[in-house]
A = this chain, B = another copy of it.
Amino acid sequence: MDCIPCFLRQALEAASMSVNDRQMRERTLKEVLSYLLHEDWSKSTAEVCTNVHRIVKRVLGVRDPYRKLKEELNRAASRLYPSLRRLVENSEDPFLTAVKVAIAGNAIDLGPKIDVDIESEVKNILNRDFVMEEPDKLKALALKYKRVLYLADNAGETFFDRVLIEELVARGVKVTYAVKGGPVLNDATFEDAKASGITGLANVISTGTDCIGLLLKECSKDFLEEFEGSPLVISKGQGNYESLSEIKDKRIFFLLKVKCRLVGEDLGVELGTPVLKHSFNK
């Protein structure tokens, strides 16, 4: 229920990015209002939000309303990438710094608020106090199992993920990077993984669906096999957190920036906090 104003804002933003026609935008918003009015509000946020974006895409007749913006995000993030790499290489604890960089990349998100000024966002967040739960354990488990399933969140953010993936790969860890199976919001799809050079480092797979977060009942069989078989999962962003936080599975480490009051309350941290959360300790 608390997410409804946000869903409508997202629908409005997606429509405004895609079409200039006022009537078309109005029709989109009215269809979303009608859907929300008749939907069962006890369904998960991810499911309702996914349906909202499916309505937007259908009514507008646009496959990927966020494509242009995602390309901008990729370009902005690719310009930052060399300085992120240097930051990690020059740090005392490269792995820990790479984890922080990956979390900082989660500042890139259009769900809660449109903002392509990535550079200042990232500088801001790297100067903040991180709430990090067992970063050493994450490293130890990665080195122990030599295998990680890495759940992507947004386009652009993929360049920040690449920094952490490089640190993992350099330590002999095999990474499987899971992107969305189709366009939804500004979430990363295969082309964003490719744009950020991850296809050369990791095995890139998709969830098999255009769902926000991870709606397991809609994921492909291949993805579910990978998910169930992975001894360690790095989960990026609020969408994946909201989908998986109920499971309490000690294989999962959540890396995210808290962008919404409700998620902040759930995690017990302030809005804007960069967080590493080990699911088992929830």
CB 8 Å contact bits of A1-42 with B (1 = contact, 0 = none):
110111011001000000000100110011001101100010
Rounded to whole Å, the gap between the CB of A275 and the closest CB of chain B is 23
Give chain A interface residues in 202-254, CB to chain B under 8 Å. Answer: none
Which residues of chain B are near A33, meaning CB under 8 Å?
Answer: 4, 33, 36-37
B4 touches A8 (CB 8 A): yes
B4 touches A29 (CB 8 A): yes
Q: Contacts A26-B41, A30-B37, A37-B30: A1 and B12 contacting too (C-beta < 8 A)?
A: yes
A12 touches B4 (CB 8 A): yes
**Candidates B12, B22, B26, B30; contact of A5 at CB < 8 Å:** B12
Which residues of chain B are near A5, meaning CB under 8 Å?
Answer: 5-6, 8-9, 12
**Candidates B1, B29, B37; contact of A34 at CB < 8 Å:** B37
Taken together as a complex, chains A and B put the C-alpha atoms of A256 and B218 apart, in Å, by: 49
Which residues of chain B are near A37, meaning CB under 8 Å?
Answer: 30, 33-34, 37
Which residues of chain B are near A9, meaning CB under 8 Å?
Answer: 5
Nearest B residue (CB) for A3: B12
Give chain A interface residues in 36-59, CB to chain B under 8 Å. Answer: 36-37, 41
Nearest B residue (CB) for A9: B5
**Candidates B8, B26, B30; contact of A8 at CB < 8 Å:** B8
Q: Max chain B CB contacts within 10 Å: which of A5, A22, A30?
A: A5
B8 touches A2 (CB 8 A): no
Rounded to whole Å, the gap between the CB of A51 and the closest CB of chain B is 15
Q: Contacts A34-B37, A37-B34, A37-B37: A29 and B1 contacting too (C-beta < 8 A)?
A: yes
A26 touches B12 (CB 8 A): no
CB 8 Å contact bits of A60-95 with B (1 = contact, 0 = none):
000000000000000000000000000000000000
Nearest B residue (CB) for A7: B5
Residues of A within 8 A of B (CB): 1-2, 4-6, 8-9, 12, 22, 25-26, 29-30, 33-34, 36-37, 41
Report 23 cross-chain contacts, Cβ distance below 8 Å, ordered by A residue.
Answer: A1-B12, A1-B22, A1-B25, A1-B26, A1-B29, A2-B12, A4-B8, A4-B12, A4-B29, A4-B33, A5-B5, A5-B6, A5-B8, A5-B9, A5-B12, A8-B8, A26-B41, A30-B37, A33-B33, A33-B36, A33-B37, A34-B37, A37-B37
* Further pairs besides A4-B29, A5-B6, A30-B37: 18, Cβ < 8 Å: A1-B12, A1-B22, A1-B25, A1-B26, A1-B29, A2-B12, A4-B8, A4-B12, A4-B33, A5-B5, A5-B8, A8-B8, A26-B41, A33-B33, A33-B36, A33-B37, A34-B37, A37-B37
